[in-house]
A and B are shown apart, each in its own frame.
Chain A
Amino acid sequence: MGELKLMKGNEAVAEAAIRAGCDGYFGYPITPQSEVMEYLMAEKPFERTGMVVLQAESEVAAINMLYGGAGTGKMVMTSSSSPGISLMQEGISYMAGAELPALIVNIVRGGPGLGTIQPSQADYFQAVKGGGHGDYKLLVLAPASVQEMCDHVKLGFDKAYQYRTPVMILSDGAIGQMMEKVVLFDQIPRRTDEEVIAQCPWASNGRPQTRNHNIITSLDLDPAGQERVNLKLQAKYKLMEQHEVLYEEIQCEDAEYLFVAFGLSARICQKAIDLARAKGIKVGLFRPITLFPFPVTEVSNVGNRVKGILVVEMNAGQMIEDVKLSVGCKVKIEHFGRFGGIIPSPDEVVRALEQKIIGG
């Protein structure tokens, strides 16, 4: 078993990045995720593994540093919170277009605009439906615990390289700030230059006599060429839909009603299940872990066995669109949300189930 620690979600992200063999972190401080870079600066991975940690002059600079680092095949990441992630959207779209592997962590806070620094899930659409321009997807992971914050960093890097795609961890201020027990995986050595070249034959890191230039770009002025790029991306997203879906079912076997929730909302729903079952209401939870690819078939299978579904999100109703598209229209599906940094309480969720689904 790996090392056992009590850590904040943000700290777990930072430590996991070091241990995953990350080559570089580029970021700009913003609450509620500032502990990521604070931890890295205190931990000095440049002395431990040689990993670079750099405070950029802005989020726009940070995401373009990521583009540059990823273009050489280096394992790079950034983290920010909602307004900062909005600033990064152009760069994220360029990285998707240029097929660059990288990890982007969004510790979501309430919006729109500068909003608040309290937790929210209102960036679901931005993360899952493409916050930048063009037909692209990110593989989006939604951790619900500090342990998953750690594990998803490793998983995110693995998938980023497997598919040559930017991967996003979509978390929130509460999971970033709270401490839980975490078992850390052992240090994975950073790759040597030879290993990077072998793993990333596409990377632009010095041309040997044996091959032509590798060019990292998202630009192809020939429409036929650009269509080929798009077809290649779409084929890649199709593969992710077939192979990368992750989800969790909790107390669904005998469920007559179902919560669907991700991240922190899923934790609150687990408590709501206990409260509801104590009243004799048989309710279960379906928790998507990958938001793209969305567990379409899986949520449909469970959803079509129950009498009604309550989608619980810390937003005005975003993931519910994917739940409705997946489950179809034979089952009643309603939404319960709190916004702007308010976290719903477990008994509020039970009341919403009773009013909107059971009594409604």
Chain B
Amino acid sequence: MTEEIIIAGFGGQGVLSMGKILAYSGVMQNKEVSWMPSYGPEMRGGTANVTVIISDERISSPILNSYDTAIILNQQSMDKFEKTVKPGGLLIYDPNGLTRFPERKDINIYSIEAADEAARQGLSKIFNMVVLGGFLKLKPLVAPEYIHKGLEKSLPARHHALIPENEKAIEIGKSLLKAVHLVQ
């Protein structure tokens, strides 16, 4: 099993930390992982993305140009990464703020209204965990107990009291998915 994922959005949406928690959870479950962020001028332009690979085998290139899954959280990222999903692959997006929606017919597309729901429930700061929940519902690569361990490892000790809230956000995300287009 190898899952190649791109997570992309605005800086501040928690894109990099979502990737880190997913990657650390993979480590806890004894998977091979790599986490390759955009950095430098790309980050300063306001967009952030991270390539996360989780695998049972040694990982070759940490940098890819096509992905099994794209998790897309803003318009620029939709424009850049919709076309990079492998045929038959998965695209998850939050429609909040989007003006152009994905059009491909050869991939599975789900929307998740994570930003709105997180705001309603007072969980805006961990909106990224809502999105992660949606992804894990569709691709349960890592078992919940390892997500817990991944959160423990990724978050500084002073934030460990917030782990239950993060896990709640993940659960909320699992119920928010809407299928937009499914490959037959």
Q: What is A's interface to B at a CB cutoff of 8 Å?
A: 4-6, 31-32, 116-118, 173-174, 177-181, 264, 267-268, 270-274, 343, 345-347
Contact = CB atoms under 8 A, between A and B. Distances in A.
Contacts of A31: 39-40
B35 interface: yes
B36 A181 contact: no
A270 B23 contact: no
B35 A6 contact: yes
Nearest to B63: A343
A274 B64 contact: no
B60 interface: yes
B140 interface: no
Interface string B34-47: 11110111000000
B27 A181 contact: yes
Interface residues of B, number: 21
Interface in B2-20: 20
A87 B23 CA distance: 37
Given A180-B35, A270-B61, 12 more contacts: A4-B27, A5-B27, A174-B62, A177-B37, A178-B35, A179-B35, A180-B33, A180-B34, A180-B59, A181-B33, A264-B62, A346-B65
A268 B20 CA distance: 22
Contacts, number: 72
Q: Which are the 10 A-B pairs with shortest beta-carbon distances?
A: A270-B60, A271-B61, A179-B35, A271-B60, A117-B40, A178-B36, A345-B65, A268-B61, A6-B24, A267-B61
B40 A178 contact: no
A97 to B, nearest CB: 36
B64 A267 contact: no
14 contacts: A6-B20, A6-B27, A6-B33, A31-B40, A173-B39, A179-B34, A180-B59, A180-B62, A181-B27, A273-B60, A274-B60, A343-B63, A345-B63, A346-B64
A179 B23 contact: yes
